[in-house]
């Protein structure tokens, strides 16, 4: 039995497609529950969620971040398997089945599913860049033994051992929590067949996301024994103009051939993103020692 938990905040136009996909999975419907946790929406989000009678709707309004909402859902869930899903992700039909199948391996404790990207009708360069560089679950898991929480499966015993998500920050705590799990001996793997589709961001919202996520990352690293001097050097390094090798590799692995024709423009976005990230890291470093 599994518990699927999407946190929501002012997501009225995203609720229906995501929940319809969640409720129409190949996995037996009587083998999973869906718990949506509203994090203080001021639009019609709760009304849209309430229109799905098979979905449990909870509220968490004292702290406004997705980790607090997820924790509320986990506290009220019954599943031996917990499944975290971002409401703006649309799962494919066998998503739940394939994620749980990966956890059936007794050697596996957590599994990060694949996040693929859908473009708008405009298909902007910002959207292309987002799809190339961000939420690369396979790379996050292989390189850092941590991953994002937007498409994450794990056994309940993980929370029983290491606790729930920290609720002090708006971003980065999914990376922090999954890294904590792997450092405590739990095995995190990639589950490419547990796939969801995510709308690629245009440039401005992408840079806002980069800055916000960047502010949360220093806590993850500093709590995992990174020296602050090393972090300062990383911040400064982001100001160095990048090469094109990473972009070319990402296009070959995740993108479309025609993206190579726009390599110069994508490189410029890449450099702007790096500088934005360095500002987020600097803010996160200051926040870590001041607060």
Strand-pairing partners, residue 167, are none
Q: What is the pLDDT of residues 1-41, one digit of tens each?
A: 999 999 999 988 889 999 999 999 999 999 999 999 999 99
The CA distance from 200 to 190, in Å, is: 21
What CA–CA distances, in Å, run from 58 to 5, 40, 68, 84, 104? 10, 10, 12, 15, 29
Give the three-state DSSP class for 210.
helix
Cα separation, 41 vs 12, in Å, equals 9
pLDDT computed for residue 291 by the predictor = 72
pLDDT of 121 above 90:
no
Which tens digits make up the pLDDT trace of 214-255? Answer: 888 888 788 878 888 999 999 999 989 989 998 898 898 888
Q: What percent of the chain has pLDDT over 90?
A: 65
Separation between Cα atoms, residue 28 and residue 216, nearest integer Å: 37
Q: What is the pLDDT of residues 173-218, one digit of tens each?
A: 888 899 999 999 999 999 999 999 988 889 999 999 889 888 888 8
Task: Show the 3-state SS of 98-143.
Answer: HHHHHHCCCCCCEEEEEEEEECCCCCCHHHHHHHHHCCCHHHHHHH
With H, G, I as helix, E, B as strand and everything else as coil, classify residue 221. helix
Whole-number average pLDDT of the chain: 91
Q: What is the pLDDT of residue 217?
A: 80
Are 45 and 11 in contact by the 8 Å Cβ rule? The answer is: yes
pLDDT band at 139 (very low <50, low <70, confident <90, very high): confident
Torsion of CA 174, 84, 38, 127, to 10 degrees: 70
Place of tokens 């500088």: 275
Span between the terminal Cα atoms of the chain, in Å? 40
Average pLDDT over residues 256-280: 93
Q: Determine the Cα–Cα distance for residues 192 and 102; give it in Å rounded to an integer.
A: 10
State the DSSP string of 144-201: HS---STEEEEEHHHHHHH-S---S-SSSHHHHHHHHHHHTT--EEEEEEEEEEEEPP
């Amino acid at each position: 039995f599994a518990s699927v938990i999407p946190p929501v905040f002012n997501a009225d136009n995203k609720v229906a497609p995501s929940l319809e996909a969640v409720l129409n999975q190949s996995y037996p419907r009587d083998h999973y529950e869906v718990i949506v946790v509203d994090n203080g929406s001021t639009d019609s989000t709760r009304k849209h969620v309430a229109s799905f009678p098979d979905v449990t709707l909870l509220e968490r309004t004292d702290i406004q971040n997705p980790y607090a909402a997820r924790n509320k859902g986990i506290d009220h869930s019954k599943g031996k398997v917990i499944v975290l899903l971002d409401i703006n992700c649309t799962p494919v039909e066998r998503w739940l089945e394939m994620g749980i199948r990966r956890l059936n391996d007794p050697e596996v404790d957590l599994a990060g599913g694949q996040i693929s990207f859908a473009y708008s009708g405009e298909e902007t360069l910002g959207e292309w860049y987002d799809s190339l560089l961000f939420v690369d679950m396979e790379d996050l898991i292989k390189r850092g033994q941590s991953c994002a929480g937007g498409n994450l499966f794990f056994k309940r015993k993980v929370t029983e051992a290491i606790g729930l998500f920290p609720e002090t920050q708006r971003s980065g705590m999914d990376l922090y929590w999954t890294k904590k799990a792997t450092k405590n001996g739990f095995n995190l793997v990639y589950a490419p067949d547990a796939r969801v589709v995510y709308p690629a961001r245009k440039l401005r919202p992408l840079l806002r996301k980069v800055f916000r996520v960047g502010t949360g990352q220093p806590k993850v690293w500093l709590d995992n024994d990174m020296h602050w001097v090393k972090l300062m050097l990383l911040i400064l390094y982001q100001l160095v103009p990048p090469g094109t090798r990473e972009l070319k590799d990402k296009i070959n692995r995740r993108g479309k051939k025609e993206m190579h024709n726009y390599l110069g423009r994508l490189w410029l976005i890449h450099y702007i993103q790096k500088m934005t990230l360095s500002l987020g890291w600097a803010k996160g470093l200051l926040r870590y020692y001041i607060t």
